[in-house]
A and B are shown apart, each in its own frame.
Chain A
Amino acid sequence: MLAVDFERRLGDPSAGSGQGFVLRPSFEAEEELVVLLGPSGSGKSLTLRAIAGLLRPDRGRIELPSGVVFDSQRGLDLPPQARNVGYVVQDLALFPHLTVAENVAFGLHGWPRQAQRERIAELIDLLGLQGLESRLPSAISGGQQQRVALGRALAARPRVLLLDEPFSAVDAPIRNALRREVSRLRRQLGLVAVFVTHDLQEAYALADRIAVFDEGAVLQCGPRDAVFRRPASVRVAQLLDARNVIEGRVVGRTEAFIEVETPWFRGRARPDTDPSAGSGQAPSAGSGHALAPGAPAALSIRPEHVILLRRDRPHANELDTTLDVELVDELATGNNHRLYLRVVGAPGLPAGDAGPSECLIEADVSAHPYQVMGVASRRDWRVALTLEETVAIPL
């Protein structure tokens, strides 16, 4: 069990309200790897420092699997030395004057000599650092430095591993290898890990659970898929790079779907009653009641879930929202093509009767279908927003 709920005022309090920054994260996790995701400056790293005991909250409570480490009501504030967490910071902070082995051994102070030797050998082995024991950190590669930092953090067998964007400084291929390694180590050692990142891909690749940070608070926290599939607010959808967020109003609701009318089209979203999508601190955070008919709501679907169709082919699932679109721009991103599609017509609304401005749908098409369908050769397309992947977000 990991439970964080505290408040800490930062910056100059005498500068008056509006100045400074209030950190007030609140999230819980039973899962094994929690990702704190959010833009830089949203308080993720500071939250990690507070968990480690390096930043003292003004009030609140922090519970780790080993027990409560901070509780302002009970006047409890364990020093970092007593919290038994492994902490890997962004710039690693390997002690530059100590060798690889000495860095790894730093947390083993007080262990019997023989036990120290065995533990160092074990970690060197675990992290593939054989032969580098007597090198200084400056004499090994970036990826190796990451492993040393991990080994140093793991040495004293912590119950919790705190990782603050540890892979931001290494090249992409090594980064992927290190992510897999962290996953492997965490499972192998049975650790709870809290991983801070602003990288969406990294968050998705690693997380069991995600806490979405913005301006010092947690907007939503829940299992990875639930958070990605059901953002509790438009802000969360934006932070998760959902791209297609179209505002409108709920006009109908059945067991099978929620219908939302936007200025450009009428769309259907799945009626989520899944309680596992987690809670948030935002007032608009997602109970289904906010989506009663008449309530303002936004439709959202991720670009990778938009299905591109030819206009002359029928689409099988009639509950999906189909829209006639015009290809106005595209961007190749390696394996994917991001298409920018202007809505020109939709069943239910006559074409040309669009709202104040145009409505752009972003869709990702991977390289193979892009070629087979001949996307580049025509402008007129149809898209299906599948019911399963379309979500209604209360406004």
Chain B
Amino acid sequence: MDAARAFAPLALVFVAFVAVPLVALAWRAVESGELADNLTSRLVLDAMRLSAVTSTLALVLAVLFGTPVAYLLARRSFPGKVLVDLVVDLPIVLPPTVAGVALLVAFGRRGILGGRLDDLGVDVAFTTTAVVLAQLFVSAPYYIRTVKAGFEGVSPQYEGVAATLGASPLRIFRRVVLPLSWPSVLAGAILCWARALSELGATLVFAGNYPERTQTMPLAIIGVFDAGASVDVAIALAVILVGAAAILLLLLRLVARSAARPSF
């Protein structure tokens, strides 16, 4: 007999600890009878739209810049690679507020780069752009890590053979490397998007909490309390975020399963 029976009570307590608040959230949302109204309130709709736009943009940028980074880290050795690897991963373990301060110091009006941008009449901090940059900063590492592992799983032998068959490097990437690492790319994108969607700390510091401009859903929850509005609005936002997270997690599981049992 194993320890499963002895461990069951402890496990049960923990599952309940996680489940009860989620159930309470759903219960309260329904019980208030104002869920529909709250979901269509101005504040919630603005936050939803802003979250959708910024997290999608962050994802697009992560894919655009992160894919080459992941490929280089997976395939090439170059001086300072260890350092690059570290820098790319660092935001994962950094407190998001620290990321926000760092971004502010770099891109803020008196920041290293921000000063130059300000001279050009470009304002980054406390704009929607800042929201996207904050999300990109904290979420891209999840994409890069996952995709890099995927690229590493594709034998370089394929690329060598494809090259002797006359395929250009980009064609090799598109026709061989990408299809063979597709589950990782998909998983990386989902993780990245989920992280961008839930981003709070860095955004708060770097972009502030301004409705319509920088107030994404997680920030809107704070905004509700600050404005002294009904807590039911916060609950509505929370319900949406829980739903989105659950759907993304489910997608991730599906991708992982299809990767474990390849169709080819």
Name A's B-contacting residues (CB within 8 A): 49, 52-54, 79-81, 83, 85-87, 89, 91, 93, 95-97, 106-107, 109-110, 136-138, 152-153, 155-156
Decide: A109 near B264, CB < 8 A? Known: A52-B160, A87-B160, A91-B157: no
Q: How far is the CA of A181 from the CA of B155 in the complex (A)?
A: 28
Per the bound structure, the CA–CA distance linking A106 and B162 in Å amounts to 8
Which of B163, B175, B264 contacts A81 (CB under 8 A)? B163
A93:B161 contact, CB within 8 angstroms = yes
In the complex, the answer to whether A81 meets B166 with C-beta atoms within 8 Å is yes
Partner of B160, one of A89, A106, A109, A137: A89
* Contact code string B146-166 (vs A, CB < 8 Å = 1, else 0): 000000000101101111111
**CA gap between A155 and B180 in the complex, in Å:** 23
Given contacts A54-B160, A96-B262, 14 further A-B contacts (CB under 8 A): A49-B160, A52-B160, A54-B164, A81-B166, A81-B167, A86-B164, A95-B158, A95-B176, A95-B180, A96-B264, A106-B162, A107-B167, A109-B166, A152-B165
B171 at the interface (CB under 8 A from A): yes
Q: How far is the CA of A389 from the CA of B163 in the complex (A)?
A: 46
Cβ–Cβ < 8 Å partners of B164 in chain A: 52-54, 80-81, 83, 85-87, 153
Q: Which residue of B lies closest to A137 (CB)?
A: B264
Whole-angstrom CA separation of A49 from B156 in the bound complex: 12
Q: Decide if A81 touches B160 in the complex (CB within 8 Å).
A: no
Residues of B within 8 A of A97 (CB): 179-180, 264
Complex interface: chain B residues within 8 A of A138 (CB): 264
CB pairs A–B below 8 angstroms (17 shown): A49-B160, A52-B164, A54-B160, A81-B163, A81-B164, A87-B161, A89-B161, A91-B155, A93-B157, A93-B161, A95-B158, A95-B162, A96-B264, A106-B162, A107-B165, A110-B166, A137-B264
Query: What are the residues of chain A within 8 A of B179 when measuring CB–CB?
Result: 97
Is B258 an interface position by the 8 A CB rule?
A: no
Which applies to chain B's interface (DSSP): helix, strand, loop or mixed?
helix
Q: Are B160 and A80 in contact (CB under 8 A)?
A: yes
* A79-B163 contact given A96-B180, A109-B171, CB 8 Å threshold: yes
Among B166-212, those with CB < 8 Å from A are: 166-168, 171, 175-176, 179-180
Residue in A49, A91, A106 whose beta carbon sits within 8 Å of that of B165 in the complex: A106
Whether B157 lies near A53 (C-beta < 8 A) is: no
For B175, list chain A residues within 8 Å (CB): 95, 106
Residues of B within 8 A of A85 (CB): 164
CB B157 to nearest CB in A, in angstroms, measures: 4
Q: Contacts A95-B176, A96-B264 given; indicate if A106 touches B158 (C-beta within 8 A).
A: no
Min distance, Cβ A387 to any Cβ of chain B, angstroms: 48
When distances are taken between beta carbons in the complex, the residues of chain A under 8 Å from B166 are 81, 107, 109-110, 156
Our count of residue pairs bridging A and B at CB distance below 8 angstroms stands at 64
* Most chain A C-beta atoms within 10 Å of own C-beta, residue among B157, B160, B166: B166
Smallest CB separation, B95 vs chain A (Å): 39
Give the complex CA separation of A389 and B166 in angstroms: 47
Nearest to B165 among chain A residues (CB) is A107
Q: How far is the CA of A263 from the CA of B158 in the complex (A)?
A: 55
Shortest beta-carbon distance, B207 to chain A, in Å? 41
| Number of B residues with CB within 8 Å of any CB on chain A | 19
Q: 4 smallest A-B Cβ distances: which pairs? A: A107-B165, A80-B163, A87-B164, A93-B157
Q: Is the CB of A81 within 8 A of B168?
A: yes
Query: Within the assembled complex, what's the spacing in Å between the Cα atoms of A87 and B168?
Result: 16
Looking across the interface, which residue of chain B has its beta carbon closest to that of A138? B264
From A88, which residue of chain B is reached at the shortest CB distance? B161
Task: Check if A156 sits within 8 Å of B165, measured CB to CB.
Answer: yes
Residue of B nearest to A90 (CB): B157
Chain B residue with the shortest CB-CB distance to A96: B264
Instruction: Please indicate the chain A residues that have their CB under 8 angstroms from the CB of B161 in the complex.
Output: 87, 89, 93
Asked if residues B155 and A93 are in contact (CB atoms below 8 Å), the reply is: yes
Q: How far is the CB of A202 from chain B (nearest CB, A)?
A: 21
Find the A residue at minimum CB distance from B164.
Answer: A87
Q: How far is the CB of A344 from chain B (nearest CB, A)?
A: 55
- Chain A nearest CB from B154 CB (Å) reads 10
Interface readout for B241-264 with A: 1 if CB under 8 Å, 0 if not?
000000000000000000000101
Report how far A137 CA is from B262 CA in the complex, Å. 13
CB distance from A335 to the nearest CB of B (A): 37
The residue in chain A whose Cβ has the minimal distance to the Cβ of B180 is: A97
Which of chain A's residues have a CB closer than 8 A to the CB of B171?
109
Q: Using Cβ atoms and an 8 Å threshold, which residues of chain A touch B168? A: 81
Complex-state Cα separation, A267 to B160, whole angstroms: 52
Q: Contact: A106 with B163, CB < 8 Å?
A: no
Interchain nearest-CB distance for B254 vs A (Å): 18
Q: Would you give the shortest CB distance from B260 to chain A, in whole angstroms? A: 15
Residue of B nearest to A49 (CB): B160
A54 CB contacts on chain B under 8 angstroms? 160, 163-164
Distance (Å) between the CB of B167 and the closest chain A CB?
6
Task: Tell me the minimal C-beta distance from A86 to chain B in angstroms.
Answer: 7
| Contacting residues, chain B, for A52 (C-beta < 8 A) | 160, 164
Q: With both chains docked as a complex, state the minimum distance between the C-beta of A219 and any C-beta of chain B, in angstroms.
A: 27
Kindly provide the distance from the CB of B158 to the nearest chain A CB, expressed in whole angstroms.
5
Kindly identify, within residues 50 to 74 of chain B, every residue whose CB is under 8 Å from any CB belonging to chain A: none
Convert B131-156 into 0s and 1s, putting 1 for each residue whose CB lies closer than 8 angstroms to a CB of A. 00000000000000000000000010
Q: How far is the CA of A302 from the CA of B261 in the complex (A)?
A: 52
Cα–Cα distance between A91 and B165 once the two chains are bound (Å): 17
CB distance from B186 to the nearest CB of A (A): 14
Closest to A136 in B: B264
State the CA gap A87–B165 with chains docked (Å): 8
Q: How far is the CA of A226 from the CA of B167 in the complex (A)?
A: 40
